[in-house]
Amino acid sequence: MADIATKLPDASWVRLEIEPVQVSHDGDETLNFATVQSVVPGAHGLYYRDDGERKALLFDNNTGKVYPPPNGWDSVPIFIHLAHGSRHGTHFADYSKANDAFERNISAVQKLFAAAGLGGARSNKVYTTGKTRARSTSKKNQPRSQFDAQPENVNISEESEGRDSEKEKNDRQVEKLKNRNDELKIRVKEYKSDLSAAQLKIKNLEKKLETVKSTGYFDDNGDKFVRIDSESDEKTQDHDEEINNLHNVIEELRNKLAAVESKKKEIEIKFSENQEYLKNAKDKVTYLENQLNSDAHEEVKSTTVRALEVKLGLAQNSIRQVEADKQQLQEANWYANERVGKLEQENGYLKGITEQLKARADSSHVEKLLKESEKRVHEINEEKSKLEWRLGELSQWWNDAKWKVGELESSVALQRNLLDTANSKIQSLNDETHSSTMTIPTDGFTISQGNRGTWNLANASSQPCFTGAIPSIPLVSALPFAGANPFIFGGANEGRNVTLTIAHTDHEVYLTGSFINWKCTLKCEKLSSGKKGVTVNLTRGRHEFRFMINGEWSTSSDYQQVPNGLGGQNNVIFVE
C-alpha cells in the first residue's frame, strides 16, 4: 500500500507506513471498491507500478468493480491511492481530511434514511438537488480507466440540512454499533489469548506426562513390573503429588474451557445481532431505491446507493471476520476437548500405576482389603437373598390383589346387569298397566292385544302380527305399517308426534321400542330428508327404542345411547 518511491517533502516530516490489509474479491476475480473503502475509508483508487511508473487499475463505473492487473492480483503489489492529498506524497493531515469527508458522507446517508422515514418520523421539509456531479452524464455508462474512473467521495451533506435532531439520533445509533463491534473484536482477541494459554498448559502437561512415563515402573500394558528400588516409598509420594498437581491443572483447564464456551456463545449472539443489522440495512437500501426513482432525485439516489454499498461492505467485512473467529474458536475448542480426554485417560493410567505401587509396598494392607472385600461381598449376598425373598412375597401379594380386583369387577358387572334387567322389567310392567290398546287415525288401523303375548290388527287381518318375546323379534315384512303414520300409543291427545329417524340404507328398516313393550316392529320409510324413519305419537316421559336392519340390531346416531342390560345399546328420547 505505501508508496516507497515517494520522497519526503521536507526534513521536518516523518514517513509513516500503512500496514497491508487483506480484501476478498468476487468469484469473477473482480474487486468491489466499496469493500476497499470499508477497510480504508480514504481510499480513492488502486494502482500498481510497472517499471517505476504508476498504472491505475481499470474501474467499471456501472458496477463499481475494479479489474485485476494483466497477470492477476498476485503478480504485482497493489497500492491504494488516498483521496484529498498529493498523489506524490500522502500526508497524515490529508488522510484525516479524507476520513472526515467520509464520515460526513455517512452522516448525510443517515439523514437520507430519516427523510425516507426509516430512521424516525418523516420530516415535512422538501430538499432539492441543486448540485450535480462534476462528471458528465454522457460518459456515465462508459467504462473508464486511470484515476478519473475511480469512485470519489462525494460530499452530499449540504443536501440534508434541517434534520439535526434525526442526524444526532442516527449518529448515536451508528456509534453504539461501532463500539459494539470494537468490543466484540477485543473479546475475540481475549478468547484467543486464553485459548493460547490453555494450549500452552496442555503442552506442559504432556511434557510432565512424558516425564512420568520415562521414570516408568510398569510397561505400556501395565502388566509387567519393570523396576522397584529402595526408594519406592519416596517415588510413590512423588507420584501422588504429581497426580494431585495434574488433577488441579485439569480442573483449571476445564474451568478455562467453560469460560471459552460461554464467551463463544456471547460471540454467536453478537453475530446474530450483526446479521439482523445487515438485513435491516439491505431492507433500507431496497426502500430507498424504490423511493428515489424520479429524474429529479437521480443524483441523490446514486450517491445514496454508493454510500449504502460502503456501509454494506463494512457490515459484510465485520461478519466475515466474526465468522472466521468463530471457526477458529470451534476448532480450538474441539482440540482442547480432545486433549482433555487424553489427559483424563492418562490420569486413569497413572492412578492404576499408583495403586499397583501401593499394593507392592504394603502387601499386608492388600490382604486386609481383600478380607474386608470378601466380608462385604458376603453381606451383599445376604441382603440380596432377603430382597429376593421380599420381592417374591410382594409378587404373590400383587397377584392376590389382582385376583380380588377381578372378582370385585365381575361382581359389580353382575349387579349392574341385574339392575338393568330389573329396570327393564319395571318399565315393561308400567307400560302394560298404562295401556293395552294402540290406535291410529281413521284412515289407518288399530293394533290391540288380544291375549298376553299376542297382538292383532283390529281393522285388518285377524292374524297376529307377532307372537313371542324379546330379544328374538322377527321381521314382519307383510305388515302395512308404513302407510298408517302416525302411530298413536295411548290417548290421542295425551302426547305429541315424534319422528324417529336413522341414516338411509338400502335394506328394510324396522323400529321397536318400550312404547310398544318391545313386542312388535314398525316399518320405516324413506323421508324427504333422505333418512329413513316413522312418526309415532308418544306420551310424556322417557322412551327407549332401537332399529333392526337386515336382521341386525342397530342404533341411530341422531339420539343419545344407553346400555340395554343385554350387552347392547338402545336409543333414548325424552318427550315433554
Task: Tell me, yes or no, whether 46 lies in a domain.
Answer: yes
φ/ψ of residue 442, rounded to 5: -65, -25
Task: Tell me, yes or no, whether 22 lies in a domain.
Answer: no
Task: Tell me, yes or no, whether 10 lies in a domain.
Answer: no
Q: Which of 142, 160, 178 is where one domain is finished?
A: 160
Q: What is the span of the domain harbouring residue 119?
A: 31-160
Task: Tell me, yes or no, whether 15 lies in a domain.
Answer: no
Are residues 326 and 274 located together in one domain of the fold?
Answer: yes
- With b for 16 or more beta-carbon neighbours within 10 A and e for fewer, the 42-63 pattern comes to bbbbbbbeeeeebebbbbbbee
Q: What is the pLDDT of residue 500?
A: 94
Q: What is the pLDDT of residue 532?
A: 94
CATH classification of the domain holding 557: 2.60.40.10
The secondary element (H helix, E strand) that includes residue 516 is none
Are residues 466 and 337 located together in one domain of the fold?
Answer: no
Answer whether 524's CB lies under 8 Å from 532's CB. Answer: yes
Whether the CA torsion 534, 537, 540, 541 is positive or negative: it is negative
Q: What is the pLDDT of residue 3?
A: 44
Query: Count of CB atoms within 10 A of residue 274's CB?
Result: 20
Are residues 282 and 353 located together in one domain of the fold?
Answer: yes
Are residues 421 and 448 located together in one domain of the fold?
Answer: no
CATH classification of the domain holding 290: 1.10.287
Expressed in percent and rounded to 5, the helix, strand and coil fractions of the chain are 50, 15, 30
Q: What is the pLDDT of residue 560?
A: 92
Q: Which of 131, 160, 189 is where one domain is finished?
A: 160
Q: What is the pLDDT of residue 548?
A: 93
Q: Quick one: three-class SS letters along 157-217? A: HHHHCCCHHHHHHHHHHHHHHHHHHHHHHHHHHHHHHHHHHHHHHHHHHHHHHHHHHHCCC
Residues pairing with 511 in the sheet: 522, 547
Q: What is the pLDDT of residue 417?
A: 82
Q: What is the pLDDT of residue 398?
A: 84
Q: What is the pLDDT of residue 487?
A: 56
Q: What is the pLDDT of residue 474?
A: 38
Are residues 395 and 485 located together in one domain of the fold?
Answer: no
φ/ψ of residue 103, rounded to 5: -65, -40
The Cα–Cα gap between 526 and 13 comes to 112
The Cα–Cα gap between 538 and 520 comes to 16
Are residues 396 and 315 located together in one domain of the fold?
Answer: no
Are residues 309 and 241 located together in one domain of the fold?
Answer: yes
Q: What is the pLDDT of residue 476?
A: 37
- Going by C-alpha positions, the residue among 556, 564, 430, 450 that lies closest to residue 490 is 430
Q: What is the pLDDT of residue 361?
A: 63
Answer whether 553's CB lies under 8 Å from 566's CB. Answer: no
- Going by C-alpha positions, the residue among 281, 284, 261, 273 that lies closest to residue 319 is 273
Q: Quick one: three-class SS letters along 71-139? A: CCCCCCCCEEEECCCECCECCHHHHHHHHHHHHHHHHHHHHHHHHCCCCCCCCCCCCCCCCCCCCCHHH
DSSP state of 145: -
Task: Tell me, yes or no, whether 11 lies in a domain.
Answer: no
DSSP state of 14: -
- Going by C-alpha positions, the residue among 511, 509, 533, 537 that lies closest to residue 522 is 511
Are residues 58 and 174 located together in one domain of the fold?
Answer: no
Task: Tell me, yes or no, whether 2 lies in a domain.
Answer: no
Q: What is the pLDDT of residue 97?
A: 58
Per-residue pLDDT tens digits for 158-178: 444 445 566 677 777 777 777
- Joined together, the cell numbers standing for residue 194 give 486464553
Task: Tell me, yes or no, whether 25 lies in a domain.
Answer: no
Q: What is the pLDDT of residue 117?
A: 62
Are residues 206 and 117 located together in one domain of the fold?
Answer: no
Are residues 446 and 415 located together in one domain of the fold?
Answer: no
Q: Which of 425, 456, 476 is where one domain is finished?
A: 425
The Cα–Cα gap between 492 and 124 comes to 86
The Cα–Cα gap between 566 and 470 comes to 11
φ/ψ of residue 548, rounded to 5: -125, 120
User: Distance from CA of residue 280 to its chain's centroid?
Assistant: 23
Q: 294: left (phi > 0), else alpha (psi -120 to 50), else beta?
A: beta
Report the number of distinct structural domains present in the chain. 4
Residues of the chain under the 70 pLDDT cut = 1-12, 83-102, 105, 112-113, 115-167, 212-239, 289, 291-298, 300-301, 359-366, 433-494
Are residues 290 and 194 located together in one domain of the fold?
Answer: yes
Cis peptide before 474 (omega within 30 of 0): no
Are residues 180 and 315 located together in one domain of the fold?
Answer: yes
26-32: list long-range contacts, CB under 8 Å, 24+ apart.
Answer: 26/65, 29/67, 29/68, 29/72, 29/73, 30/60, 30/63, 30/65, 30/66, 30/67, 30/68, 31/65, 31/66, 31/68, 31/73, 32/64, 32/65, 32/66, 32/309, 32/313
Task: Tell me, yes or no, whether 382 lies in a domain.
Answer: yes
Residues, the chain, total? 576
Q: What is the pLDDT of residue 137?
A: 43
- Joined together, the cell numbers standing for residue 518 give 318391545
